[in-house]
């Protein structure tokens, strides 16, 4: 029997996979299911992006390069300029990724010394599990920082003891935040960059929900760097912005020395997006109109769901941006409430699936269509009225 990487044995399943299995079981009997579990909305990819991909499929297939097509890097740089008012050099500060997940997972391989004193990777709990998992597989330590409702679910590096910061090599931040939908402002980014640099830490900012904002555009860490991106990387993605979860297209932007190291590492990993995906990604980054249209759709769904929760007297926290709505479990038990909702054929994620600090809360991903959201909250309200769900 071959040996097993202990990091793999430590994992258990991917937390949301079990919910997907339950959803599939429910669907099998043909009745209506409102699936608010996985962040993969039903809206189609805009036709011009699909057409760009189809037109780019040539008769001969070639390996894509890790550095990516120059047109794609230029398109990313152009988007950073128009969206954030920041100048970046496509050849020095930008590296395409096959979506942000793999880029997040692989980052520690370029940064973390498994035999050195700074093996920890900081990230916010509740949060996206891949930050900690990437650390473990690179031979490091996952060091989740508890986030709270009182602190607006914001991770503040300043609040951590210096020893904890000095034991870490990467601090992940993710705003707008999955799972809470919490947001931050430029002052907050300034403070995190200053603290990270003071302690020789890489500040890695997962900004994949940046385009899903409602009241005011979500800022980027790149905006507080004044052109000096030392120890700062932003991870951006087309998945949520352009409805391209299945394409696998994103980019890493920032510190030129880290980008150089990633250019050395990543050809070994072999995760470059296929060339036809890169062409479609280039078209997507160049256009902002479809992004605004998608945002309007999410805003409509959010209004339906927030309106219902308010009427039902259910407490909402965060939920300022992203297509997630984060609410306190009536009865305080997120797992029990998720199960009770399942009996009503509504699938929500219990907050504990995103880390222990998520217990007592649930996340709704605004995946169904606007009408699907309306139908679901109608059933939900009826279940409350009939006493099948606690309030
Ligand atoms: C916080 C966060 N980061 C990264 C990702 C991965 O996104 P991508 O599709 O760009 O790989 C997700 C996906 O849901 C996410 O929630």
Ligand 1 centroid to residue 208 C-alpha, Å: 6
Q: Which has more confidence, 299 or 9?
A: 299
CA-nearest residue for atom 6, ligand 1, is 101
Q: Is residue 56 part of a domain?
A: no
CB of 239 shorter than 6 A to ligand 1: yes
Q: Assess whether 219 and 297 both reside in one domain.
A: no
Same domain, 34 and 134: no
Smallest CA-to-CA distance from 149 within 365, 363, 357 is with 357
Task: Judge if the beta carbon of residue 245 lies within 6 A of ligand 1.
Answer: yes
Nearest to residue 131, comparing CAs of 146, 6, 141? 141
The answer to whether 152 and 319 have CB atoms below 8 angstroms apart is no
Higher-confidence residue of 191 and 390: namely 191
Query: Are 218 and 324 contained in the same domain?
Result: no
| Nearest atom, ligand 1, residue 104 CA | 4
Structural domains of the chain, count: 2
d(Cα 257, Cα 266) in Å, to the nearest integer?
14
* DSSP string across 45-62: PPHHHHHHHHHT--SS--
User: Which pLDDT does position 14 carry in this prediction?
Assistant: 62
| C-beta separation of 162 from 199 below 8 A | yes
Same domain, residue pair 281 and 314: no
Examine the domain organization and report whether 202 and 319 are in the same domain. Answer: no
The pLDDT of residue 199 is above 70: yes
User: Which of 251, 286, 321 finishes a domain?
Assistant: 286
Token digits of residue 305? 């769901």
Percent of the chain with pLDDT strictly greater than 90: 89
Token pair belonging to 45: 């990819």
- Cα-to-centroid distance, 291 and ligand 1 (Å): 17
Residue 1 lies in a domain: no
Percent of the chain with pLDDT over 70: 98
Shared-domain flag, residues 170 and 258: yes
Question: Are 210 and 345 found together in one domain?
Answer: no
Judge whether 91 lies within some domain.
yes
**How high does pLDDT run on average in the chain?**
95
> Is the residue at 25 inside a domain?
yes
Q: Is the pLDDT of residue 5 over 80?
A: yes
Q: Is the CB of 178 under 6 A from ligand 1?
A: yes
* CATH number of the CATH domain containing 254: 3.40.640.10
pLDDT-derived band at 42, boundaries 50, 70, 90: confident
Task: Say yes or no: CB of residue 235 within 6 Å of ligand 1.
Answer: no
Angle ∠(335,336,342) on CA atoms, nearest 5: 90
53 in any annotated domain: no
Residue 13 pLDDT > 70:
no
Evaluate whether residue 390 is within a structural domain.
no
β-partners of residue 232 are 203
- With a 6 A CB cut-off, is 237 part of the ligand 1 pocket? yes
Boundary-marking domain end, from 221, 252, 286: 286
Q: Which domain holds residue 38?
A: 6-45+290-385
Q: Is the C-beta atom of 211 inside 6 A of ligand 1?
A: no
Burial class (CB in 10 A: 0-12, 13-18, 19+), 29: exposed
- 235 near 207, Cβ under 8 Å? yes
- Calculate mean pLDDT across residues 35-39: 88
Q: What is the pLDDT of residue 288?
A: 97
- CA 101–ligand 1 middle distance (angstroms): 5
Distance CA 314, CA 328 (A): 7
Task: Give the least confident one: 16-20, 47-51, 210-214.
Answer: 16-20
pLDDT at 15: 60
Residue linked to tokens 């989740």: 144
Question: Same domain for 179 and 274?
Answer: yes
Helix (H, G, I), strand (E, B) or coil at 351: helix
Among protein residues, the one whose CA lies closest to atom 12 of ligand 1: 101
Last residue of a domain, one of 225, 255, 286: 286
Are 279 and 294 part of one and the same domain? no
Burial of 312 (0-12, 13-18, 19+ CB in 10 A): middle
Regarding the beta carbon of 64 and ligand 1, being less than 6 Å apart is answered no
Q: How far is the CA of 378 from the centre of ligand 1 (A)?
A: 30
The SS3 of residue 250 is: strand
Contact 103, 237 (CB under 8 A): no
Do the domain assignments include residue 149? Answer: yes
Query: Quick check: is 230 in a domain?
Result: yes
**Arithmetic mean of pLDDT, 264-289:** 96
Question: Is residue 168 domain-shared with residue 307, that is, in the same domain?
Answer: no
Please indicate, yes or no, whether residues 170 and 207 belong to a single structural domain of this protein.
Answer: yes
pLDDT of residue 16: 62
Ligand 1 site, residue 39, Cβ cutoff 6 A? yes
Ligand 1 contact, 207 CB (< 6 A): no
- In this predicted structure, the answer to whether residue 103 has a pLDDT above a threshold of 90 is yes
Is the pLDDT assigned to residue 38 strictly greater than 90?
A: no
Q: Is the separation of the CB atoms in 261 and 87 below 8 Å? A: no
Q: Distances in Å between the alpha carbon of 384 and those of 25, 33, 327, 364?
A: 24, 18, 16, 17
In which order are the strands placed within the sheet that holds 316-317? Answer: 316-317, 324-328, 361-365, 349-350
pLDDT at 201 exceeding the cut of 70:
yes
> Is the predicted pLDDT of residue 22 greater than 80, yes or no?
no
Tell whether ligand 1 has an atom less than 6 A from the beta carbon of residue 96: no
Mean per-residue pLDDT for 200-221?
97
Indicate if ligand 1 lies below 6 Å from the C-beta of 273.
no
pLDDT in tens, 218-241: 999 999 999 999 999 999 999 999
pLDDT at 280: 98
Digit-coded pLDDT (tens) for 343-381: 899 999 999 999 999 999 999 999 999 999 999 999 999
Judge if the beta carbon of residue 99 lies within 6 A of ligand 1. yes
Within 13 Å of residue 26, how many CA atoms lie on the same side as its CB? Answer: 19
Q: What is the pLDDT of residues 74-99, one digit of tens each?
A: 999 999 999 999 999 999 999 999 99
The CATH number of the domain holding residue 355 is 3.90.1150.10
pLDDT attached to residue 370:
95
- Arithmetic mean of pLDDT, 169-175: 98
Q: How confident is the model at residue 21 (pLDDT cuts 50, 70, 90)?
A: confident
Provide the 10 A C-beta neighbour count for residue 226.
Answer: 7
**Residue 215 Cα distances to 37, 83, 183, 296, angstroms:** 24, 16, 11, 12
| For the CA of 103, the nearest atom of ligand 1 | 11
pLDDT (0 to 100) of residue 217: 97
Instruction: Say whether both 311 and 360 belong to one domain.
Output: yes
Q: Tell me the longest C-alpha to C-alpha distance in the chain.
A: 62
- Tokens found for residue 17: 């996979």
pLDDT above 90 (res 28): no
């Amino acid at each position: 029997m071959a040996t097993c990487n202990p990091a793999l044995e430590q994992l258990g399943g991917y937390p949301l996979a079990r919910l997907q299995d339950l959803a599939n079981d429910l669907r099998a009997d043909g009745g209506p299911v409102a699936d608010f579990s996985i962040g993969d909305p039903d809206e189609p990819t805009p036709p011009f992006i699909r057409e760009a991909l189809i037109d780019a499929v040539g008769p001969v297939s070639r390996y894509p390069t890790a550095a990516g097509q120059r047109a794609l890097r230029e398109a990313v740089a152009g988007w950073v300029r128009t969206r954030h008012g920041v100048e970046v050099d496509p050849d020095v500060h930008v590296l395409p990724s096959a979506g942000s997940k793999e880029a997040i997972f692989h980052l520690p391989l370029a940064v973390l010394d498994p035999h050195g004193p700074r093996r920890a990777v900081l990230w916010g709990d509740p949060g996206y599990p891949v930050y900690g998992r990437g650390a473990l597989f690179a031979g490091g330590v996952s060091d989740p920082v508890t986030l709270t409702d009182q602190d607006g679910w914001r991770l503040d590096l300043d609040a951590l003891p210096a020893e904890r910061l000095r034991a870490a090599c990467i601090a992940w931040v993710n705003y707008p935040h999955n799972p809470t939908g919490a947001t931050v402002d430029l002052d907050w980014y300034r403070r995190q960059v200053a603290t990270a640099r003071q302690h020789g830490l890489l500040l890695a900012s997962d900004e994949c929900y940046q385009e899903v904002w409602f009241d005011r555009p979500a800022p980027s860490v790149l905006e507080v760097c004044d052109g000096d991106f030392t120890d700062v990387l932003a991870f951006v993605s087309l998945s949520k912005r352009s409805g391209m979860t299945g394409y696998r297209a994103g980019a890493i932007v920032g510190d030129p020395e880290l980008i150089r190291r990633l250019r050395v590492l990543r050809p070994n990993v072999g995760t470059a997006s296929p060339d036809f995906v890169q062409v479609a990604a280039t078209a997507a980054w160049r256009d902002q109109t479809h992004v605004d249209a998608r945002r309007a759709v999410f805003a409509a769904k959010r209004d339906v769901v927030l309106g219902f929760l308010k009427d039902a007297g259910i407490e909402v926290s965060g939920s300022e941006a992203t297509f997630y709505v984060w609410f306190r479990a009536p009865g305080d038990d997120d797992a029990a409430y998720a199960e009770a909702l399942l009996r009503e054929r509504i699938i929500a994620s219990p907050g504990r699936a995103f880390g222990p600090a998520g217990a007592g809360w649930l996340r709704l991903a605004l995946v169904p269509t606007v009408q699907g959201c309306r139908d679901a909250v109608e059933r939900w309200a009826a279940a409350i009225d009939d006493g099948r769900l606690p309030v």
